[in-house]
Amino acid sequence: MKILIATGIYPPDIGGPAQYAKNIETVWRNQGHTVKVLSFLFERKLPTGIRHIWYGSRLLFQMIGSDMVIALDTFSAGVPAVFMAKILRRKLSRKERMIFRLTRYMLTHADGIVFSTAWQRNIFIPAYGIDSKKTHIVENYYGKKEESFNPVRKNFIAGTRLLKWKNLDRVREVFASEDVKRAGVVFEENSEKFEKFMDRISNCYAVVLASLGDISPNMILDAIRYNKPFILTKETGLYERLKGIAIFVDPENDNDIKEKILFLADDKNYQASADKVATFSFTHSWLEICDELMKIYKNLL
């Protein structure tokens, strides 16, 4: 098959869609498919609207001859992908969210919509008037355990894609409070390339993600692979999967965030949390993800 992957970001960018694009590309190439990835170049600097038109024109050219199009976000890549796919009558499968009217158009006109969690699907169906029959769930990547190292200090790691909903200003303020400082805790924001970021996680004390909402955050799943305790927003699609090992937090409650940080800063609590994370054994490989996506596509034919 000839497959086109439309994505706003791609390695060395950090973020879930970047890793998703890279890994499904690798699996499908290894299976003998012809795969093209079209990511943003200078479109990132263009204003909304102009960016979509320009990216859409690039997509239109690349879609010629493609059998399947996978768009890895809703608004930035998804909207132009659906417009151009409808022009060429190509199949489109999709994952993730935003901007209401165009997003609603995209979601209601896509041939198939793939969510990584039921939590996300349950939000999108009534909000955008989606036909539930064309929705599917393909869980995120859960990798095998990796080698990790004992931390030399109590450093909490956070990835830094500068988006408002990541709630970083609030998190920074909490870590800057005197109570947290006295506990010897350090907050480290990280924007390094993926490999270096994974090295930082493998050596860190813990990972923190207190965003206003996060569907299926890769950073948390990476923390699990390295057996690192983590604080995670309760507004997430991973609640059911991780409720036995996660330390959940209300992202709009400064005191709750602080209490959870101080809880994890305690050596006894930390070890108990680390032990729980170490027991987590569920895996979901990129091969399984690609097979599930391909099955969805074939059922659309």
Both 168 and 82 in one domain: the answer is no
Both 28 and 61 in one domain: the answer is yes
Amino acid 100: pLDDT = 65
Q: What is the pLDDT of the chain when averaged over all its residues?
A: 86
Both 98 and 210 in one domain: the answer is no
**Is residue 192 in some structural domain?**
yes
CATH of the domain at 97: 3.40.50.2000
**Is residue 145 in some structural domain?**
no
Least confident segment among 12-21, 158-167, 259-268:
158-167
Both 74 and 24 in one domain: the answer is yes
Amino acid 94: pLDDT = 45
Q: Does the pLDDT value for residue 255 go beyond 90?
A: yes
Amino acid 89: pLDDT = 56
Amino acid 97: pLDDT = 40
**Is residue 265 in some structural domain?**
yes
Both 226 and 133 in one domain: the answer is no
Domain count, the chain: 2
Confidence of residue 225 (pLDDT cuts 50, 70, 90): very high
Confidence of residue 137 (pLDDT cuts 50, 70, 90): very high
* pTM, to two decimals: 0.78
Both 274 and 290 in one domain: the answer is no
Both 51 and 80 in one domain: the answer is yes
Q: Does the pLDDT value for residue 90 go beyond 80?
A: no
Matching residue, tokens 């692979």: 225
Both 132 and 165 in one domain: the answer is no
Q: Does the pLDDT value for residue 29 go beyond 50?
A: yes
Q: Does the pLDDT value for residue 75 go beyond 70?
A: no
Amino acid 61: pLDDT = 76
Q: Does the pLDDT value for residue 163 go beyond 70?
A: no
Question: Which domain, by its residues, includes 244?
Answer: 154-278
**Is residue 174 in some structural domain?**
yes
**Is residue 245 in some structural domain?**
yes
Amino acid 96: pLDDT = 38
Amino acid 82: pLDDT = 57
Amino acid 290: pLDDT = 96
Both 274 and 289 in one domain: the answer is no
Both 41 and 63 in one domain: the answer is yes
Question: pLDDT for 104-114, tens place per residue?
Answer: 887 888 889 99
Both 22 and 55 in one domain: the answer is yes
Average pLDDT value for residue range 63-71: 85
Both 128 and 164 in one domain: the answer is no
**Is residue 148 in some structural domain?**
no
